[in-house]
Amino acid sequence: MSQSSSMGLHGKVVLVTGASRGIGAAIALAFAREGATVVVNYLSNDAAAQQTVAACQAAGGDAWAVKADVGNATEVQTMVDSIVSEAGCIDMVVNNAFKPYTFDPEQRRRFDDLEWSDYQSQFDGAVGAAFNVCRAVLPQMRQRARGSIVNIVSNLVENPVVPYHDYTTAKASLVGFSRNLASELGPVGIRVNCVAPGLVYPTQGSQGTKEAFRESLMAATPMRRLASPEDVAGPVLFLASDLSGFMTGQVLLVDGGLVMR
């Protein structure tokens, strides 16, 4: 049996938010390789989004890009309506987009430097965006009594090796959001899970992370390296596919064993 048929993603429609580059682009490409129809959502970088689409098409998946701010409920609804009218449905969603954040332990703001608005901004970026997307896609998933949602969180929730207070608190809330949704949607055949990467390098957010810190993190990690965007894609595919058909409300840690649960 070929891998693509066992994963059962061929011809399935997946929406990946924040997919013009980094982790989102790697996830989109991995779905395309399995023959899925991939919708690349992005905020502003037209050229990068088109590059991801071209890579997905070259890998054998149907793909197109949709520009929409996932923080804006109206734009999200318009995006979802356009995908459903074009593709007939949305089978899977990966909520990967997040508010820009710089992972630099030396430059990070201490608790005393933060305002509540910093937390609110990250909360809106993590939970608010997932809320908007779920609100828009769930009616058609409920109708067909099937669907899979994967939300990208962080291993910092389990082990705040660097206290990025506002970012990590928002991601912890996204785990709670996901589990409540999993509990409510399980009876109608819709699954909701999370993938929690460690530091992923290189990405837009991690490019400022100093080499000395990266090396100390690698030394503390059993697998002695950092995650690449591609490392995150495999577990996302697993949770989106029928291979994980009896899993919901779970958080898969993808950090080389830094956090063991």
Which of the residues 42, 101, 164, 167 is marked catalytic? 167
Residue 244 gets which letter from DSSP? G
Q: Is 201 an active-site residue?
A: no
Report the chain's terminal Cα–Cα distance, integer Å.
32
| 136 membership: H or E segment, kind and range | helix 129-144
One-letter amino acid at 66 equals V
Two tokens, residue 34? 């399995």
Q: How far, in Å, are 104, 157, 229, 246, 258 from residue 213 at the CA level? A: 9, 19, 19, 38, 14
As a whole number of angstroms, the distance between CA 79 and CA 64 comes to 12
Q: Could you give the 3-state DSSP secondary structure of residue 63?
A: strand
As a whole number of angstroms, the distance between CA 132 and CA 72 comes to 7
Burial string for 52-83 (b: 16+ CB within 10 Å, else e) reads bbebbeebebbbbbbebbbbebebbbebbeeb
Residues recognised as catalytic: 167
